[in-house]
Amino acid sequence: MLIKTNNIWKIYKMGTEEVNALRGVSIYIEKGEYVAIMGPSGSGKSTLMNLIGCLDTPTKGEYYLNNRRVSSMNDDELALIRNREIGFIFQTFNLLARASALRNVELPLIYNGTKADKRIQMATEALEQVGLGDRIHHNPNELSGGQRQRVAAARALVNKPSLILADEPTGNLDTKTGEEIMQLLADLHHAGNTIVVVTHERDIAEYAERVIYVRDGLVEKEEEIAKAAI
């Protein structure tokens, strides 16, 4: 099992009040699965995403990633897990504006000390995998929105992580380009990657094999998605 949460809570203090963003959430995700976490604004899905992505820690409860208990790790340990185990794709792309596609994709490899020649090889291969082999020296302002999100996908892939975590990956894209990005994620899943997409849109969630619905800080229900060929 890749992801397992056991009764995790996230409580924020707002002055004298406490807000229970998550209230005892227990989920599991197997290696190689494609899962969507869906819910309206304020449901707790973004908080759950931050915990799964090791961007935050639960107030109480346990989280295991690849059989390691990450819920009790410190900030430095979490940073190492994020770099090695998780590839992120964000709604806003989060690319360096003055760096080429190649340089943007290299960033996780720079942080983990990969040598320059190996970095270039790995980043180039990742960009080729998402169909941007002919755009490696273009800066973000020379790329379309869909191409920028493909650069972000290549950056997420470059470390060969255990998990690709996509937060509203089509939120800043038009419908056609959004469909292309979701097809890319489907292709990455078919290649063996574990994908978790966080979304509030039903049509995006339906690309997954399983949907976990979150509401009011709780798992409301889960649903298996019957798949036609995508």
User: Which residues neighbour 187 within 8 Å (Cβ) at sequence distance 6 or greater?
Assistant: none
User: Which residues neighbour 212 within 8 Å (Cβ) at sequence distance 6 or greater?
Assistant: 27, 35, 36, 37, 38, 219, 222
Does 88 map to a domain?
yes
Q: Which domain holds residue 97?
A: 3-224
| Count of beta carbons in the 10 Å neighbourhood of residue 104 | 25
Tell me the pLDDT band of 229, cut-offs 50, 70 and 90. very low
Average pLDDT score over residue span 61-81: 94
Helices (H), the chain: 45-52, 75-85, 101-111, 116-129, 145-157, 175-190, 202-205
Identify the residue with better confidence: 179 or 230: 179
pLDDT digits (tens, 9 = 90+) for 85-123: 999 999 889 999 999 999 999 999 999 899 999 999 999
Rg (CA), the chain: 18
Does 213 map to a domain?
yes
Does 159 map to a domain?
yes
Which residue, 189, 11, 215, is CA-closest to 89? Answer: 189
Does 230 map to a domain?
no
Does 48 map to a domain?
yes
Does 229 map to a domain?
no
pLDDT digits (tens, 9 = 90+) for 133-188: 999 999 999 999 999 999 999 999 999 999 999 999 998 899 999 999 999 999 99
Kindly list the distances between the CA atom of residue 65 and the CA atoms of 31, 143, 198, 228, in Å, as whole numbers in the listed order.
Answer: 10, 35, 18, 30
pLDDT digits (tens, 9 = 90+) for 191-212: 999 999 999 999 999 999 999 9
Q: What is the CATH number of the domain that holds 63?
A: 3.40.50.300
pLDDT of residue 226: 77
Domain count for the chain, please give it: 1
How far is Cα 157 from Cα 192, in angstroms, rounded to an integer? 12
Residue 22 clears pLDDT 90, i.e. is over it: yes
